[in-house]
């Protein structure tokens, strides 16, 4: 009986110790959890404070690096810099790349432009300049797509042909110029001046100074006829003479005009087109 009582007491003490240990463990787990939670809150607050302070500092960082790349033949770096004088570049985050792009697109030689910011202080600009194919009516230029634009002709890096024609005929002039040149190149010839009259009559001045009068109809057939006949025409020239013009507006044959060999190459203007019968 006494042994059984002793076992019961021992069991009770064991259970009490176990309960106390459990309470202690729960107590420490609770405070560890609280401590961890507080540490997380402090870390978040400190990180937020640090980032806010850094952003305050960064907001005062200006654009200090200007990187200009692309297919640029005519636009100068100074042109870009001067164009951006109207835009406030003192705050990296507040610089509007769309506004910068619109401003640069106003430059005369620029065909396309893209702009992006590179943190922390760089503005990257990619430019593509116009490709001038011809001078249009003396004051404008035509690009490879037949679009007219205005820029300083004195900046041209190579000679290009002159086109003259009614407003709105730029694409027609360019398309026919390309097709005419494809035919003429077989004789080593090219077009230096193209004139399209109000009545859509075509005249071409070639790189050897010869004026071709094609008229309005069958212009490609007439150029093909000229290519066939031109070698024979040059053989028939007299001494100290050269071909001045070839009128191809006839159903059969051509009319040929001659000029002294020493005479300067004939030049055309849209307002003073040579009239041939």
Q: Is residue 9 part of a domain?
A: no
CA separation for the pair 234, 206 (Å, rounded): 14
Q: Is residue 226 part of a domain?
A: yes
State the burial class of residue 189 (Cβ atoms within 10 Å of its Cβ: 0-12, 13-18, 19+): buried
Q: Are residues 119 and 153 part of one domain?
A: no
pLDDT of 172 above 60: yes
Task: Output 36 or 164, whichever has higher pLDDT.
Answer: 164
Q: Are residues 198 and 102 part of one domain?
A: no
pLDDT in tens, 212-223: 999 999 999 999
Domain count along the chain: 3
Least Cα distance to 227 among 210, 215, 242 occurs for 210
Q: Are residues 138 and 97 part of one domain?
A: no
Domain that holds residue 113: 65-129
204: domain CATH number is: 3.40.50.11690
Q: Is residue 270 part of a domain?
A: no
Q: What's the whole-number average pLDDT of the chain?
A: 84
104: domain CATH number is: 3.10.20.310
Q: Are 141 and 155 in contact (CB under 8 A)?
A: no
Q: Are residues 228 and 173 part of one domain?
A: yes
Q: Are residues 234 and 142 part of one domain?
A: yes
CA separation for the pair 236, 173 (Å, rounded): 32
How high is the pLDDT of residue 42? 77
Q: Are residues 147 and 32 part of one domain?
A: no
pTM: 0.73
How high is the pLDDT of residue 15? 52
How high is the pLDDT of residue 64? 93
């Amino acid at each position: 009986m006494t042994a059984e009582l002793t076992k019961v007491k021992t069991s009770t003490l064991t259970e009490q110790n176990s309960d106390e240990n459990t309470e202690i463990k729960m107590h420490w787990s609770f405070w560890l959890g609280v401590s961890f939670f507080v540490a997380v809150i402090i870390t978040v607050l400190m990180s937020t404070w640090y980032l806010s302070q850094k952003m305050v500092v960064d907001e005062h960082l200006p654009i200090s690096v200007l990187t200009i790349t692309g297919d640029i033949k005519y636009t100068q770096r100074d042109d870009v810099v001067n164009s951006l004088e109207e835009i406030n570049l003192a705050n990296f985050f507040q610089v509007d790349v769309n506004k910068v792009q619109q401003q640069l697109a106003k430059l005369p030689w620029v065909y396309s432009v893209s702009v992006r910011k590179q943190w922390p202080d760089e503005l990257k600009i990619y430019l593509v300049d116009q490709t001038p194919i011809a001078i249009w009516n003396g004051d404008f230029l035509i690009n490879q797509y037949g679009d007219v634009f205005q820029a300083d002709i004195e900046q041209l890096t190579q000679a290009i042909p002159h086109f003259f024609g009614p407003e709105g005929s730029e694409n027609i002039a360019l398309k026919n110029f390309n097709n005419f040149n494809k035919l003429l190149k077989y004789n080593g010839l090219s077009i230096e001046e193209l004139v399209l009259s109000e009545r859509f009559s075509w005249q071409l001045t070639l790189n050897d100074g010869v004026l071709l009068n094609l008229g309005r109809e069958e212009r490609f057939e007439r150029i093909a006829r000229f290519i066939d006949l031109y070698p024979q025409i040059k053989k028939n020239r007299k001494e100290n003479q050269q071909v001045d013009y070839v009128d191809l507006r006839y159903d059969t044959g051509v009319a040929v005009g001659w000029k002294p060999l020493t005479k300067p190459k004939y030049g055309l203007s849209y307002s003073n087109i040579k009239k041939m019968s």
